[in-house]
Structure 1
Amino acid sequence: MAEASRRYMAASSLLLLRLLLAIALVVPVGCGVREPAVLKVAVDAGFQPALEALRPGFEANCRCRLQITAGASGILYGQIRAGEGFDLFLSADSARPVLLEKAGLIVPSSRQIYARGQLALWVSRQIATDKSSGYSVLAATQAQDDSALTPRQLILLLGRGQHKLVVADPQLAPDGDAAVKMLKKLRLWPLLKTRMVYAGHAGHAQILLHQGEGQMGLIPYGQALASGNSGQFMRIPTYFYPPIEQQLVILRSSRQRALAIRLLQYLHSEPVQKQISGLGFLGVKPAN
């Protein structure tokens, strides 16, 4: 009887061991480890390179993960109105955040400016290094010391030759809208309007320039800084075009409001504002 009992216990133990091994093979090793929270951020493509540069610091601090969707502010606004489940919207203007606020789609008092945009004139390396084109000396000088372009210099660069000029769609992208208004202010529009190549957003404009669809471009300065050495670019002083006030909002539908507030505070912090200034944007003084 005792022998039978021992055999029964041994068989039961073996069966339990096999069961535990089977569970271990089916259940992931990290089953007991909680996955990091995901914060869904819609960002204008012109600010995407800067946000990607700032991402590691925020993710390490909050132990969360950013899910970034980039595009033209106008397209992202339409997606939000259609019910897309973003937590934050980092627009490149103030108009669309204001519209979302009026529609009651944001967390009250969450509409905040986080940066001010700047434009750059991008010139392909082919024409920037062509001594006969007249661009080379001026482009090299401006790229080295980042001195301000004068109206005469900008008109000379944009008006010379028959080169195509790439800008983001002014109906959808605030940087494209500012660029077109600048051209009209400088009375260059009649000369350039037939040579314009319109991109879907700032990132698409950079792709078109890299592909040779245009030899010059008016793009966000931050985008130009992140573009590598495929061409020369020069910062355009902000008094040439209307202010590009970039605002963010926390969406009322967000399920990660606490994390969204932390990102807002992170972007407004003094160290991050200094980083933003080094990434091609003008820093801001957060509202009290």
Structure 2
Amino acid sequence: MRKLKNIFSAIAVIITSSIAGNANAGQTNVAVAANFTEAAKEIATAFRAKTGHDAILSFGSTGQLYTQIKQHAPFQIFLAADEDRPKQLVDEGLGVASSRFTYATGRLVLWSKNPDLVRGADTLRGNGFSRLAIANPIAAPYGAAAVEALRALGVYDRLQPKIVRGANVVQTFQFIDTGNAELGFVALSQLIGNNSGSRWQIPQNIYTPVRQDAVLITTGVDNEAATAFMDFLKGPGARGILEKYGYAAGASDGGHDE
């Protein structure tokens, strides 16, 4: 009888602990730049495993997400693909200044499914294609970087009639993947594990580095899951995932000088 009581007591402790753990688990809504989709999913899984908190991810172009946040979409964190929009949110009183930091630096790649098409800068100077895909340079930082690279190579004006624009870098990838454009500019992270076709990693000295900033939205200040996610994003667990997806790890000092 005493053994049964001990067993029931142990079960009660386990159930109580489980309930307490669930009660302490939280949730945060994260706006994520499209180029960071796969890395963010893996980071969210690792974050949940470590903390018990859930990060609910929504993806889009940086410009679109910025507009949604300004219109009071229910996000607590913004993972942008540039530095400008998070800073603007801080300047507009919607972002927490001390929370803003560069979590990753992305790399731009010219990619084609045709294994014989991309052969460095000469590909863009030739006439071997009819459509070149880039992300919308107004809304998507990788699109802006693509335009900057094309201008640096002296081919932008000549290629303008051939350019097709995706809403974001994910749609740009789809244009190339489905054959709607023979080649285009995508993020290196999108090609991790994909060895198809041909590619040229654009020299980083011909476009402004795609520094991707994170910022805590003011609505997330009292959200335990949101602040925990921002901390996790700076740590070694997230850093390993960033490097796996071809990003250079960003600043780890937790902020920018304002």
TM-score by length of 2: 0.84
Are 2:233 and 1:267 equivalent residues in the alignment?
Answer: yes
How many Å separate the matches in 1 of 2:204 and 2:63? 22
How many Å separate the matches in 2 of 1:163 and 1:63? 50
Equivalent in 61, 68, 77 of residue 57 of structure 2: 68
Equivalent in 234, 242, 245 of residue 276 of structure 1: 242
Which residue is 1:95 aligned to?
84
How many Å separate the matches in 1 of 2:197 and 2:101? 34
User: Which of structures 1 and 2 has the bigger CA Rg?
Assistant: 1
How many Å separate the matches in 1 of 2:135 and 2:172? 6
TM-score by length of 1: 0.75
Which residue is 2:189 aligned to?
222
Cα deviation digits, residues 109-143 of structure 1 (max 9, x gap): 1111101111011112xx325xxxxx3xxx6xxxx
Q: Which runs of 5+ in 2 are unaligned?
A: 1-17
Q: Which runs of 5+ in 1 are unaligned?
A: 1-29, 130-134, 140-152
Cα deviation digits, residues 180-201 of structure 1 (max 9, x gap): 0110111011221110010000
2:120 and 2:200 in contact (8 A); partners too: no
Alignment of 1:187-202 (within 5 A): 187-202=154-169
Instruction: State the Cα distance separating 1:94 from its structure 2 match.
Output: 0.7
Are 2:142 and 1:165 equivalent residues in the alignment?
Answer: no
Equivalent in 154, 157, 174 of residue 120 of structure 2: 154
How many Å separate the matches in 1 of 2:157 and 2:97? 44
Instruction: State the Cα distance separating 1:224 from its structure 2 match.
Output: 2.2
Instruction: State the Cα distance separating 1:270 from its structure 2 match.
Output: 2.9
Q: Secondary structure at the match of 2:248?
A: coil
Amino acid at match of 1:266: F
Cα deviation digits, residues 25-76 of structure 1 (max 9, x gap): xxxxx99965952210001001111111222211111112221111100000
How many Å separate the matches in 1 of 2:191 and 2:78? 22
Are 2:44 and 1:55 equivalent residues in the alignment?
Answer: yes
How many Å separate the matches in 1 of 2:71 and 2:58? 15
Alignment of 1:1-288 (within 5 A): 34=23, 36-124=25-113, 127-129=114-116, 135=117, 154-160=120-126, 161-225=128-192, 228-254=194-220, 257-287=223-253
Amino acid at match of 1:178: A
How many Å separate the matches in 2 of 1:203 and 1:93? 16
Instruction: State the Cα distance separating 1:235 from its structure 2 match.
Output: 2.2
How many Å separate the matches in 2 of 1:50 and 1:182? 25
Instruction: Give the paired residue count.
Output: 235
Amino acid at match of 2:48: E
